[in-house]
Amino acid sequence: MNEPLVPIRAALLREVSPGWARALREDDDGPLDVDAARRQHHAYAQALLRAGVAVAVLPADERQPDCCFTEDTAVVLGRHALATRPGAASRRAEVRPVVDALVGLGCIVHRMAPPATLEGGDVLRVADVLYVGRSRRTNNAGIEALARVAALEGLRVVPVELGEQMHLKGAVTLADAGTAVVDAALLDPAVVEGWGLAVVEAVEPVGANVLALGRGRVLVPAVAPVTAHRLRERGLTVRTVEGSEIHRADGRLTCLSLRIPHAGGWCA
């Protein structure tokens, strides 16, 4: 298959919840700031719009503090999509509004049943392979559920063992179809080279999560200037976006959107 990584057709976002102060996070470094999160979320949406992405922003729910992290609620593979069952039980109610939006966009949405859990932050697509983190949030039954839907699109699933980090895409993402950005403290770069990708090592802790925009363009967190420099040196067009408040709730660039590719292509 090996279709091209294409510019993103559409991205589903959700506003930052008024309940942002209660977002899940591993380190409590003081109260979260909902206004800062909203400003950064808006800047992210603008960056996608400037890249030619059709952005749809769903309304937030006060009872769903993490609802802006739409990536975790579904995996879109083409016509078929999988609605996830997040490993974080407090996040399961986030799935329904995203599924409704995907159905409205013409996707055939499949469900997963208990005890399966999976979060989209654990799924990295590279052409016709889905690398899936086996993590605290994604279990074997979740990986099997994904494999069944992936097969409908002619894709195969390769599990990746994770250590203590939350999601696979905190450790590795794609900058373009052939280049991965890897946090060597979280995942051995040799593993990613074994996938046939060139590796750029991220220097800053959140630098490994970048968003490939297609046509050699990549969105990089502003808090990762050295990683951004390394990507520019490889000839990529780098845009940066401020996400410091989002990162305080363990959010990364990719988790703020659910990307939908143009027909016949894929996005990371």
Q: How far is the CB of 252 from ligand CIR (least distance, A)?
A: 4
Asked if 266 and 7 count as a contact pair (C-beta separation under 8 A), the reply is: no
Beta carbons within 10 angstroms of residue 12's beta carbon: 23
Beta carbons within 10 angstroms of residue 153's beta carbon: 16
Query: Please, which residue, 99 or 152, has the CB nearer to ligand CIR?
Result: 99
Q: Within 49-78, which residues bind ligand CIR (CB under 6 A)?
A: 66, 69, 71-72
Of 68, 107, 255, 267, which one is the catalytic site residue? 255
Query: Please, which residue, 162 or 255, has the CB nearer to ligand CIR?
Result: 255
Q: How far is the CB of 129 from ligand CIR (least distance, A)?
A: 19
| Stretch 117-156: interaction string toward ligand CIR, x if CB under 6 A | ----x-----------------------------------
229-242 per-residue burial string, b: 16 or more CB within 10 A, e: under 16: ebbeeeebebebbb
Pick the binder of ligand CIR from 167, 230, 247, 248 (CB under 6 A).
167
Query: Please, which residue, 134 or 234, has the CB nearer to ligand CIR?
Result: 134
Q: Within 174-233, which residues bind ligand CIR (CB under 6 A)?
A: none
Pick the binder of ligand CIR from 255, 258, 267, 268 (CB under 6 A).
255
Place of tokens 């603008």: 46
Q: Is 252 in the site for ligand CIR (CB under 6 A)?
A: yes
Asked if 215 and 43 count as a contact pair (C-beta separation under 8 A), the reply is: no
Q: Which two tokens stand for residue 1?
A: 């298959």
Beta carbons within 10 angstroms of residue 28's beta carbon: 8
Question: 72, 54, 40, 6: which is closest to 212 by C-alpha?
Answer: 6
Question: 179, 186, 266, 192: which is closest to 220 by C-alpha?
Answer: 179
* β pairing state of 211-214 and 172-176: unpaired
Of 41, 167, 247, 267, which one is the catalytic site residue? 167
Q: Within 79-118, which residues bind ligand CIR (CB under 6 A)?
A: 88, 91
Q: Is 241 in the site for ligand CIR (CB under 6 A)?
A: no
Q: Within 10-39, which residues bind ligand CIR (CB under 6 A)?
A: 23-25
Q: DSSP states of 60-120 as a string?
A: P-TT-TTTT-GGGGEEE-SSEEEE---SSGGGGGGHHHHHHHHHHTT-EEE---TT----G
Q: d(Cα 196, Cα 180) in Å, to the nearest integer?
A: 10
Query: Please, which residue, 145 or 255, has the CB nearer to ligand CIR?
Result: 255
Query: Please, which residue, 23 or 149, has the CB nearer to ligand CIR?
Result: 23
Catalytic (active site) residue 167: yes
Catalytic (active site) residue 229: no
Q: Which two tokens stand for residue 19?
A: 């309940």
- The stretch among 1-9, 13-21, 149-157, 246-254 that binds ligand CIR (CB under 6 A) is 246-254
Query: Which residues form the catalytic set?
Result: 167, 255
Q: Note the residues at the interface with ligand CIR (CB under 6 A).
A: 23-25, 66, 69, 71-72, 88, 91, 121, 167, 249-252, 255
